[in-house]
Structure 1
Amino acid sequence: MTTGKLQLSGITKSYGSRLVLDDVSFTVTPGRLTGFVGGNGAGKTTTMRIVLGLLSSDGGNVELDGAPLSAEDRRRFGYMPEERGLYPKMKVLEQIVYLARLHGFDKQKATERATDLLTELGLGERLNDTIESLSLGNQQRAQIAASLVHDPKVLILDEPFSGLDPLAVDVVAGVLQASAAKGASILFSSHQLDVVERLCDDLVILAGGVIRASGSREGLRSQHANNRYELVSTGDAGWLRTEPGVTVVDFEGGYALFDADEPETAQRVLKSAVQRGDVASFTPKHPSLAQIFKEVIQ
């Protein structure tokens, strides 16, 4: 599979006098999963549809490996819309084979590819069931198979984990990670911030049509760290409550979670803790994605 770096630069879009995307710029890198998060009406679906050529932008560029996207490029994309779009009366395997053949696979290869993918997604025993007879969660799995069956180099998924139970989320996540490992560029939106945090390599936060934060998951967590630390010691950590520049958030015995007014204060605390007894661990606590999200959209 050939790979492709997807790059959006200065994308703008208005509906009448309402500006829905304002200078949206970010990159989706091959081999990595990019989480795209924002509240309802933030502009995520509009952005995805512009990338796919389903909507035109008012300004800006979408490029693949530094060149403008062509219709041929987009034919190699995989897309899963938030609204399910499969034929309800068709059998599951028949539907996915049909889509693979539209992308140029012969019947044997299409059947092999569809069968393997559906089995990997946990639908191996439902191949001959109709789409409409499946539960909503299994319909979602079939929809994901439809977006992946032609081995796309760019995969765009709008709320792929909607309606899935925790076990199904893990199954789908594994399939997406395997696709990324083969070099696909994957952009997915989700309201489930815990899933995004666990799965994404990179993150884009959109609010009101504006990019509020973007970068690698760990880079953003470090960037938004607020000098919070966790101390675990063999002694009683109660002395921290009277330490200048320290605000204790949680405390029990030798465990303490605290905020320091500056990094130097944290280093002073560590030195004091070492002098008082054995220190099992002393670690900075980076914020969760949910905390970063709340911070940047305010």
Structure 2
Amino acid sequence: MARDEAADPDRTVELLWRRRAGEEPRAGLSLDRIVRAAVELADAEGLAGLSMRKVADRLGFTTMSLYRHVPGREQLVDLMRDAVLGEPAAGPPVTPPVTPPVTPGGPVEEPVEGGWRERLEACARQGWELRRRHPWLAEVRGSRHVPGPNGVAHYERMLGAVSGTGLAPAEVVAVVGLVARFVDSEASLLVEAARTERSSGVSEEEWWGSREALFDRLHEFPTITGLWQAGGYDRPEDPFEFGLARLLDGVELLIQRRYEKRDETGACLGCGAPVDRPPSGRPRAYCSPACRQRAYRRRRSGPGGESRE
């Protein structure tokens, strides 16, 4: 029995990784125009307001005509997600490029100099910027959304930032996943606050400012009261900035510990292979000149980035 296209992940892969046949026609319906209209709609109303009918109305076509280009709403969301991940890292969102490139190259951005921390931080900030520009990105949940070339390119850059730091392969993957989930989590809080404000008509500040009945009872808790009186709640730390910095501090500590452990075990700092220890003199840090050169290129300013030979 043939599978329904709307439930076929392979069909989504074909759409996401399609090659552009040429310039978009001046008139008529195309997949690029459908994705662009859907992004605009989701920017205005969130994913809850996204439907095939609304997208069709925005374009001036029937709903059924959209299904000739995209099987359903879930596939459309995957296309939208990869489209905005291909936007430039900075600048106003003016007519974003929604067609994935022929070869995965990702968003147009300036190269980031520095070590692993600077590069991973730049990736996190790019993701944060995109989610502030398109809040609905944080609403795309679940583990079975097929990635497109722009999404894979972004993931590749994050992995490349941490690869070569001395972490085990599984740790590299785990670090990238941890940072990505942090960005999504912080963005989700913004989305939820904005949604509640729209539905209630009351801002977060106004709502909490009216909770005198609660505040009158907090004097029984000395730590809360002391922090309040000391001004701890007057100018709170920016949640994203504070959280990202502390998260990267933790990764840096992990990398440092891995280097110390490798020093003790005599493993290559580049690939982890055993390194023969000389009978005297300074121990070798790399198993070969090739490993030393690769590590130098990847870790020019990260912890342990300078060659020790």
TM-score by length of 2: 0.26
Q: Report which of the two has the higher share of strand.
A: 1
- Tell me which structure has the larger Cα radius of gyration: 2
Greater relative contact order, per chain length (Cα 8 Å cut-off, separation 6+): 1
TM-score by length of 1: 0.27
